[in-house]
Amino acid sequence: MSPKILVIQHNLDDHLNELALPLIEAGLQIDSWDVENSPAPTDISGYDGIVSLGALAGVLEESENAWMSVERKMFEQALELEIPLLGICFGSQLLASAAGAEVYKVATPEVGWTKVDMSAGAAGSAAADPIMAALGDNPDVFHFHYDSFTIPENFELFGVTGDIPQAFKVGKRAWGMQFHIEVGLAAMHSWFATYARAFEKEGISVESQKAASAANYKAYLERSHAVGKAFAAEVTDFAASK
């Protein structure tokens, strides 16, 4: 039987995007939970991996979103069972919170392209981690978030922008990325149209972001596929060990 993963989708305009191809090519079976439109799985122990995507809602709004406490319990169970978990943007923030971090609003939201400093951990630590190594050295990444979080003792921090954590690991098989490693060129342009006012509010030119996307998208696509391939390998290994 093929390894099976659960993909948690919070909004219709943020889905697996470019991560879908490497996961499918690795032979994984994908189940999706749309938190607003479908019932939550009752038991995650039958899954060999979880991918949690971005969300318009934030962790600080958990009391207003009934699905969030359900997802939090899934994360806690995944950490306990060491099920491979990849949290992206909101998914990374909820993972951090489930592991004991305090989530808070950042003074300056990160919207659009920034560069991540991958030297936050011990020398060579990112290169030694199968998922983080796929990001490469100090990558240009695409952001869209207003929240961040503190760093609990059980974190392994790999990447930052200033004092904002960007790439980390919790326990044996749970990884978080604050940036949207899944988003490809088509989705970026869709967001430029849908969320133009959000860029403008932060004093960021949409046209400059379009130019950055044109310059960076090929390398970013390769990076996304590398992360997906690496995560699929972790899922496959976990499934084989059961």
Please identify every residue annotated as catalytic: 89, 180, 182
- Confirm if 52 and 85 have CB atoms less than 8 A apart: yes
List residues bridging with 86 in a β-sheet. 51, 175
CA dihedral 198, 68, 88, 165 (to 10 degrees): 80
Angle formed at CA 51 by CA 152 and CA 1, multiple of 5 degrees? 125
The three-class DSSP label of residue 232 is helix
Per-residue 3-state assignment (H helix, E strand, C coil) for 133-170? HHHCCCCEEEEEEEEEECCCCCEEEEEEECCEEEEEEE
Quote the CA–CA distance of 133 and 153 in Å, as a whole number.
Answer: 22
Distance of alpha carbon 210 from the chain centroid = 22
CA dihedral 96, 102, 105, 107 (to 10 degrees): -100
